[in-house]
Amino acid sequence: MKIIFSDFDGTLTNNGKLGAVFFDLLNLIDKNKSELVIVSGRSLSWGHFFLTHFPLKHVIMEGGGVIVGKNKEGHLYEENLISDQEIKKLDDLTNELVKLYPKCILSADSFGRRTDRAIEFSQMERSDVEAVELFLHKNGLNFSRSNVHINFWVGDISKARGVEYFIKNYAPHVGKDECLFYGDAANDESMFEFFPNTVGVSNILAILDQLEYKPKIILEGKDNSGALGVYNHLREFFDQSKNF
Ligand SMILES: [Mg+2]
């Protein structure tokens, strides 16, 4: 496998924490001459953190809205996958949203976002979440729920679209069948549809019924949740060159 694409929250973490197994995973991928590309709903500024502190070359952030890379000199660069007009429209509608619904809690990392914004729906009353979702719908904003946020955006953004663009422009020698994807939530669904080789870590069971497109392999058991599941599966895969 040339590239391992993976979601971050709930897939490379365990119980919301980044643990030692994540670093074992980085070593395992490096040892097998593959590359990890994180595809996350988290913000552009989180992407900077990933690239600054982990041995990664690229990440796809904001649910596919922006690619962040590191050049040979170690400098970071970014490429937005939506237009400046779409970014401006998102900005204006977000200002309107928070004025109209003061109980809407934007995520603490929304200030570091460019192509989408995020809402801390678990900290809000259900009726407020519904009102906010209605506003998003009425104003033609797209939105989806991850296991931590409701993300919303203007324009055509999805994890799969971001990855398709990435492969075409940053890794044109890599075929879809030479990639693996790991995920755990509804915002990974486009990836389960896009890639032939996909794995859901065991914590995906909680939302599996909501998915029209499910991962090809679904891991089972507590020991296969989050980063542990990715590590166990990938180790076995590399050891046996296991086929899908
Ligand atoms: Mg997740």
Domains of the chain: 3-81+157-240 (3.40.50.1000), 84-153 (3.90.1070.10)
Cα of 198 vs centre of ligand 1, distance in Å, is 14
Cα of 47 vs centre of ligand 1, distance in Å, is 15
Query: pTM of the predicted model, to two decimals?
Result: 0.92
What integer pLDDT is reported at residue 244 of this predicted model?
61
CB 233 within 8 A of CB 198: no
Cα of 147 vs centre of ligand 1, distance in Å, is 6
**What are the pLDDT digits (tens) for 30-59?**
999 999 999 999 999 999 999 999 999 999
- From CA 52, how far away is CA 69, in angstroms rounded? 10
Q: Which whole number is the average pLDDT over 136-146?
A: 91
Would you list the DSSP string of the chain? --EEEE--TTTTSBTTB--HHHHHHHHHHHHTT-EEEEE-SS-HHHHHHHHHHSS-SEEEEGGGTEEEEE-TTS-EEEEESS-HHHHHHHHHHHHHHHHH-TT--B-GGGGG-SS-EEE-GGGS-HHHHHHHHHHHHHTT-EEEE-SS-EEEESSS--HHHHHHHHHHHH-TT--GGGEEEEE-SGGGHHHHHH-SSEEE-GGGGGGGGG-SS--SEE--SGGGSHHHHHHHHHHHHHHHT---
> Smallest Cα–Cα separation from 27: which of 171, 233, 231, 237?
231
**What are the pLDDT digits (tens) for 189-198?**
999 999 999 9
Q: What's the Cα-to-Cα distance from 42 to each of 8, 111, 118, 214, 216, rounded to whole Å?
A: 8, 12, 9, 22, 25
Cα of 86 vs centre of ligand 1, distance in Å, is 25
Residue 109: pLDDT band (50, 70, 90) is: confident
Cα of 73 vs centre of ligand 1, distance in Å, is 31
Is the pLDDT score of 243 beyond 70? Answer: no
What integer pLDDT is reported at residue 145 of this predicted model?
80
| Percent of the chain whose predicted confidence (pLDDT) is above 70 | 98
Q: Which whole number is the average pLDDT over 223-232?
A: 97
CB 15 within 8 A of CB 184: no
- From CA 88, how far away is CA 226, in angstroms rounded? 35
**What are the pLDDT digits (tens) for 53-107?**
999 999 999 999 999 999 989 999 999 999 999 999 999 999 999 999 999 999 9
Neighbouring CB atoms inside 10 A of 80's CB total 16
Q: Which whole number is the average pLDDT over 126-141?
A: 95
Residue 146: pLDDT band (50, 70, 90) is: confident
Enumerate the β-bridge partners of residue 20: none
What integer pLDDT is reported at residue 144 of this predicted model?
85
Specify the higher pLDDT residue, 217 or 1: 217
Is the pLDDT score of 242 beyond 80? Answer: no
> Smallest Cα–Cα separation from 144: which of 173, 121, 167, 169?
121
Cα of 41 vs centre of ligand 1, distance in Å, is 8
What integer pLDDT is reported at residue 241 of this predicted model?
65
Q: Which residues keep their CB under 5 angstroms from ion ligand 1?
A: 7, 9-10, 147, 184-185
What average pLDDT does the chain have?
Answer: 95
Cα of 117 vs centre of ligand 1, distance in Å, is 16
Cβ within 8 Å of residue 175, ≥6 positions away: none
What integer pLDDT is reported at residue 240 of this predicted model?
83
What integer pLDDT is reported at residue 216 of this predicted model?
98
